[in-house]
Amino acid sequence: MTTRVAILTLTALLPASLVAGPIPGLSPETPWTVDGYLSYMATATLPDDHNSLLDHLLHQRLNVEYRFSDQLRIKVGMRNRVLAGDSNDLPGFGDTVGNDNGYWDLSGNWIDNSSVIATTSLDRLYLDWHTGRWQLQGGRFRINWGMTTVWNPNDLFNSYSIYDVDYPERPGTDAVQLSRKLGFASEWNLVYNPNDEASLDSYAGRYLSNAGGWDWQLLLAKSRRDSVVGAGFAGDIGGAGIRAEISWLNPIDEQWQGQPQSATSVGSLEGDFSFSGRRNWSLKGALLHLSNPLAIDSGSDYLSQPLTVRSLSFTEWTGYLESGVDLSPLWRLTLSASYYQDHSYFLGASSSYSLAENWTLQAIVQRFDGRGDALFADTPATLLYGLIRWNF
């Protein structure tokens, strides 16, 4: 199995990377870089109309970089997770945990039963070559084309849920990317992302530049079953950050698996402002528009499905607000809320406390609900998270 081979390889290499460092000025810098974190998270899921669930997650991340030369390096990122709790009894839960949506299957469960699921995933595994203004990357890596921070219509390869609390790195994409810098804040990128089914291959081009202090970009793509034209910009007005993205997705085929396909536009506008002072108070607001949102059967299906640009929301209009404040130099509180056009809503609170250098304690509360026939009103629930993390 590819994952096991990679694990054994990294295990063999780790001792060499963890020996005492060289004396500055007398020995060459080590070509290795190793970092990551170890965390424990307890999750309580409290549905209004069903039995509660209590789950435990031990999560270890390892990032390894080896530099063959100044121009060529390899980067590997691995997630090792051990899950125990009530969710293990849910039908298909183990398959969901060990699923890999990439072109290469680099994930797998090495323990899978009703008591414990242990799984490993390589979400970064790529070569990075650069010289002068040129850069070539190939393998599994993150392609982040988003200019906004809440919803990213331009981020064709790595759409993610704003409600995910324990995956800050976000998933990677199996692809080849060629880039060339053209000057200050200007470059172009070409990406090819293969699929097991050739008709679902994706390829895209982006041009990024800066004018008058504003970053802007244009992109053209064939993203799975859609032709895509997109644009985005980011800048500053009176100290407030302003960002926007829009993508137009036009289906290549009129039907797919017997279902009619239709064009849609996806646009996001957001702004944020940070107030001066020792509390570092910040405000952020965002608005998302989908001209033709996809039909979703239930709120639980929406929250558990892999996201794409087409499924960033399930209503035409969606709003988001966030406010953060430092309660002390080591303690930050963030409040957030989302509101959907069908009267579904999300309320969240996150408290992050620095226990010591490299140690963080976090508590999170999430509430999904709605009024009337709202999608979230079908399965209203409260989720409680407690997380402690050590970074190394």
Q: Domain extents for the chain?
A: 1-18+30-122, 142-162+175-386
CA distances from 33 to 67, 76, 79 (A): 9, 11, 17
| Residue 89 amino acid letter | D
Checking if the pLDDT of 249 tops 80, the result is yes
pLDDT for the residue 384: 98
Instruction: Please compute the mean of the pLDDT values over residues 270-299 and round it to a whole number.
Output: 93
CATH code matching the domain that covers 142-162+175-386, chosen among 2.40.160.10, 3.50.50.60, 2.60.120.260, 1.10.10.10? 2.40.160.10
The pLDDT of residue 22 is 47
The stretch 346-360 carries a mean pLDDT of: 96
pTM summary value: 0.86
- Top-confidence residue, 12 or 224: 224
What is the mean pLDDT of the segment spanning 323-345? Answer: 97
What's the average model confidence in pLDDT over 333-362? 97
Average pLDDT of the chain is: 90
pLDDT at residue 176 above 90?
yes
Closest CA to 106 of 123, 87, 86: 123
Q: What is the largest CA-CA distance in the chain?
A: 71
Residue 23 has what pLDDT? 53
Is pLDDT larger for residue 236 or for residue 17?
Answer: 236
Q: Which residues pair with 39 in a beta bridge?
A: 59, 389
187's CB contacts (< 8 A; 6+ apart) are: 179, 180, 181, 207, 208
pLDDT interval class at 253 (50, 70, 90): confident
SS (H, E, C) the chain: CHHHHHHHHHHHHHHHHCCCCCCCCCCCCCCEEEEEEEEEEEEEEEECCCCCEEEEEEEEEEEEEEECCCCEEEEEEEEEEEEEEHHHHCCCHHHHHCCCCCCCCCEEEEEECCCEEEEEEEEEEEEEEEECCEEEEEEEECCCCCCCCCCCCCCCCCCCCCCCCCCCCCCCEEEEEEEEEEECCEEEEEEEECCCCHHHCEEEEEEEEEECCEEEEEEEEEECCEEEEEEEEEEEECCEEEEEEEEEEEECCCEECCEECCCEEEEEEEEEEECCCCCCCEEEEEEEEECCCCCCCCHHHHHHCCCCHHHCCCCCEEEEEEEEEEEECCEEEEEEEEEECCCEEEEEEEEEEEEECCEEEEEEEEEEEECCCCCHHHCCEEEEEEEEEEEC
Contact predicate 242/235, CB 8 Å: yes
Overall average pLDDT of the 83-87 stretch = 95
383 vs 253, higher pLDDT: 383
| Mean pLDDT of the region 21-46 | 80
**pLDDT tens digit sequence for 113-130:** 989 999 999 999 999 999
pLDDT over 90 at 289, yes or no: yes
State the average pLDDT over residues 289-318: 90
pLDDT band at 39 (very low <50, low <70, confident <90, very high): very high
pLDDT over threshold 90, residue 216: yes
Interval 131-165: pLDDT, tens: 999 999 999 999 999 999 999 999 999 888 899 99
Binning pLDDT at 50, 70 and 90, where does residue 24 land? low
Q: Which residue did the predictor score with more confidence, 4 or 161?
A: 161
Query: Is the pLDDT confidence value at 20 over 50?
Result: no
pLDDT, tens only, 256-278: 777 778 999 999 999 999 998 88
* Chain-centroid distance, C-alpha 63: 16
The predicted pLDDT at position 42 comes to: 98
Please, which pLDDT band fits residue 9 given cuts at 50, 70 and 90? very low
